[in-house]
A = this chain, B = another copy of it.
Amino acid sequence: MSDLLERLRGRGWRMTAQRRVVAEVLNGEHVHLTADEVHARAVVRLPEISRATVYNTLGELVSLGEVLEVATDKRAKRYDPNAHQPHHHLVCARCGAIKDVHPGGNPLADLPDSERFGFTVSDVEVTYRGVCPNCAAA
């Protein structure tokens, strides 16, 4: 992820303070932030950054394949910088906490041809739901 800015430059992208800050927010440990959460954190470092730029930059990173959009939340999309290691998600139904998980097996192979209806299936998204230890204790 640290060379994300280099990869972007390699694709002819201008390196701006705004893009750097968005990349920094997504950097670090594995987070799953909404666009407005990214904006809130970006504003700390660059107070004048606009919502539109955050949305634009996230969209660009998704198009590049550097960030994934995930729909674990039924409200806002979440942006996942852990794009280079395939994984799925485990979500607490009470507090919304999200963990990356790596189930065994291959869900794609579990879908027989008779259940594909002629689709060309290219991707599968798995969301486990439950209650996290914190919420279970309370």
Interface residues of A (CB under 8 A from B): 69, 71-74, 77, 90, 92-93, 99, 101-105, 107-108, 110-112, 115-133, 136
Distance (Å) between the CB of A78 and the closest chain B CB? 10
> Would A128 and B118 be within 8 Å (CB), given that A69-B74, A74-B69 are in contact?
no
A90: B residues at CB distance < 8 A: 111, 115-117, 119, 121
A92 to chain B, nearest CB (A): 7
**Number of identical protomers:** 2
Q: Which 3 A-B pairs have the closest CB atoms?
A: A118-B133, A121-B130, A103-B110
B124:A129 contact, CB within 8 angstroms = yes
26 contacts between A and B (CB under 8 A): A71-B74, A74-B77, A90-B111, A90-B119, A101-B116, A101-B117, A103-B107, A103-B111, A104-B110, A104-B111, A105-B105, A107-B107, A107-B110, A108-B128, A117-B132, A119-B131, A120-B130, A120-B131, A120-B136, A123-B130, A124-B127, A124-B128, A125-B127, A126-B126, A126-B127, A127-B127
Docked complex Cα distance between A133 and B117 (Å): 8
Q: Which of A71, A73, A131 has the most CB of B within 10 A?
A: A71
Asked if A126 meets B107 with Cβ closer than 8 Å, knowing A74-B71, A90-B121, the reply is yes
